[in-house]
Amino acid sequence: MTAPVDRADADQAWVAGRITAQRWSDGAVEPVTRAFPEEVPVAVVVNDENYAVMLASPADTEDFAYGFLRSEGVIRHPDEVDSVIRHLRPEGHVVEVRLVGEMPASARRERRLAGVSSCGLCGVESLRDAIKPLGRVPDGPAFDGNAVLRAMAGLRDHQPFNAVAGAMHVAAFAGPDGILQTAREDVGRHNALDKLIGALLRERVDPASGFVVMSSRCSYELVQKASAFGLRLLCTASAPTALAVRLAREANITLACLVRDGGFLLMTGAERMQMREVIANG
C-alpha cells in the first residue's frame, strides 16, 4: 500500500492564502483571518505547443496534466509521456509535457491553442491571457446587512428544479430590501449566473438597483461576470477563493461570503454595508 503523501511541502503556500475579512453577526463586527483556497492558471504545454489553460488548485499539477490529457484523449497510457517539467511562474503554473510520439490528430483538432510563446517559455503568454483585468463598478448607496440575510434565506423558495432533482445551483437578484425578484438555476454555478444576467438584461433591470445572491462558493468567474454586468454586491452561501477576493477588490465589488447562521464574512467593500442588528429571517 502506498504511504500517505505529506502535503506540507512547497505547494502549501500556493494552495491556500490567508485573508483578513470582517465577520458580521448580530450587529457586531469582528475582524477574522482565515485561509481560503487558491486557484491559479495552469498552462498545459504539449510538445512545445500551448494546449490549454485551466484554472485549478495549484497542487499536484503533474497529476493534473496526466489526468487532463488522458480525459482529452491525448494519451491513453502513462508510457506515452516522455517527460513532465513544471515551472512556477508569477502568473501561475506551466506544465510542459513531452510525448514519446506526436499528439493525436483528433486531440489537436479538439483543443490545441494556436501559437507558441515568444517570451522564452511556452505557456506564459497564455497564463497572462487567462485572467484579464476587470473594469471597476461604480460606487453607490450602501446595502443593508439584514437584506443580505433575507435574500439568502429566500433562495430555497426559488429553486423548483433543485427541489425535484437536486444538484442545482441558483443565482437570484434581490432588491435593496432583500426581496428576491428573479432567479435562475443550473447545474453549474457560472451557468446559473449567466442565465440570471441574461434574464435581467431582457427585463432591462438596472444592476445597480439590487444585488445577487448565490447558493454556491465564489470563484473567479463569478466575479468576472459580476464585474462585466456592473453588479456592486455579490453574496454566496459558501467560501470564496483567494483569487475571487483579489478580483472583487480590483473591480470595486462588495463580496459577502459564507452567508449563513445570522451573519456573513464581508471580504471586500465594507464601506458599502450598513449593519443594524442582524435578523436572519428579516
Query: According to the model, what pLDDT value does residue 181 have?
Result: 96
Other Cβ atoms less than 10 A from the Cβ of 109: the count is: 8
Say which DSSP state 148 is in.
H
11 is a domain residue: no
Query: According to the model, what pLDDT value does residue 97 have?
Result: 94
Query: In this structure, are residues 103 and 121 in contact, taking their beta carbons and an 8 Å threshold?
Result: no
Residuewise pLDDT in 10s, the chain (282 residues): 333 334 444 444 445 668 888 887 776 778 888 888 888 888 999 999 889 888 888 888 898 899 889 888 899 888 999 999 999 888 888 999 999 988 887 776 444 443 333 334 556 667 777 787 899 999 989 999 999 999 999 999 998 888 888 888 999 999 999 999 999 998 889 889 999 999 999 899 999 999 999 999 999 989 999 999 999 999 999 999 999 999 999 999 999 999 988 899 999 998 888 755 443 333
Which residues pair with residue 33 across a beta bridge?
Answer: 20
Query: According to the model, what pLDDT value does residue 218 have?
Result: 94
User: Which domain, by its residues, includes 237?
Assistant: 134-274
Q: What is the 3-state secondary structure (H, E, C) of 153-188?
A: HCHHHHCHHHHHHCCCEEEEEECCCCCEEEEEEECC
> Structure pTM?
0.80
Number of domains in the chain: 2
15 is a domain residue: no
12 is a domain residue: no
User: What distance in Å separates the CA atoms of residue 202 and residue 195, rounded to the nearest whole number?
Assistant: 11
User: What distance in Å separates the CA atoms of residue 173 and residue 141, rounded to the nearest whole number?
Assistant: 17
* Residue where one domain finishes, among candidates 71, 101, 130: 130
H or E element that contains 152: helix 145-153
* Residue where one domain finishes, among candidates 130, 157, 187: 130
Catalytic residue among 119, 122, 235, 257: 119
Query: In this structure, are residues 89 and 104 in contact, taking their beta carbons and an 8 Å threshold?
Result: no
200 is a domain residue: yes
The answer on 269 and 138 residing in a single domain is yes
**What amino acid is encoded at 250 in this protein?**
E
* Residue where one domain finishes, among candidates 130, 159, 194: 130
Is 235 labeled as catalytic in the residue annotation?
Answer: no
